Amino acid sequence: MYAGRYWSASITRLYNGSMNAGMKFTLGAVLIVGAVGYLMATGVKQTGQYFLTPSELSQKLAADPTFYDVGMRVGARVVPGSVSRDVAHQTLAFRVTDGSASYPVVYRGIAPDTFNDSVEVVVEGRIQHDGVIHATDVLAKCGSRYESVPKA
């Protein structure tokens, strides 16, 4: 009751212009900030992804079997010699590891120029029940965009 009366009084004041401009601006600012916060939070829910190493991924899978088929990104190193390319079908298969855990990856699409068999990669996709990461995107990284890739 009281809250309702308070709000209707505020709205009347706002409408009649008896609320000063500073307060109105604050109200507008709060609305904008609130909207931004809301957008960010829903955005994270819709498009945010876990960023895991292979060992973190295996821990997650052990702790929570529903983690299969969840969108995520895995940062790891390509296992040297594990890369097989099928250019005609644009398919790339390789293994990634962080030294302890290791997973096979299958990617259909065009691999970046910087991809080779000893590079650091970020694999984006889902791990399925067959234990294979089905990637929707593969990013090959070097220390910095401006630095050449160090020769192994």
Q: Which 57-76 residues touch another protein, going by CB under 8 A?
A: 73, 75-76
Q: Which 78-137 residues touch another protein, going by CB under 8 A?
A: 85, 87-90, 98, 109-110, 112-116, 120, 122
Q: Provide, rounded to whole angstroms, the least separation between the CB of residue 123 and another protein.
A: 10
Three-point CA angle 124, 128, 133, nearest 5°:
35
CA–CA distance, 95 with 91 (Å, rounded to integer)? 14
Number of CB atoms found within 10 A of residue 121's CB: 24
**Which residue lies nearer to another protein by CB, 122 or 132?**
122
* Helix, strand, or coil (residue 6): helix
At 20, which amino acid appears?
Answer: N
Residue pair 107/82 in contact (Cβ under 8 Å)? The answer is no
Residues that bind another protein (CB under 8 A): 21-22, 24-25, 28-29, 32-33, 35-36, 39-40, 42-44, 46-53, 56, 73, 75-77, 85, 87-90, 98, 109-110, 112-116, 120, 122, 141, 143-149, 151
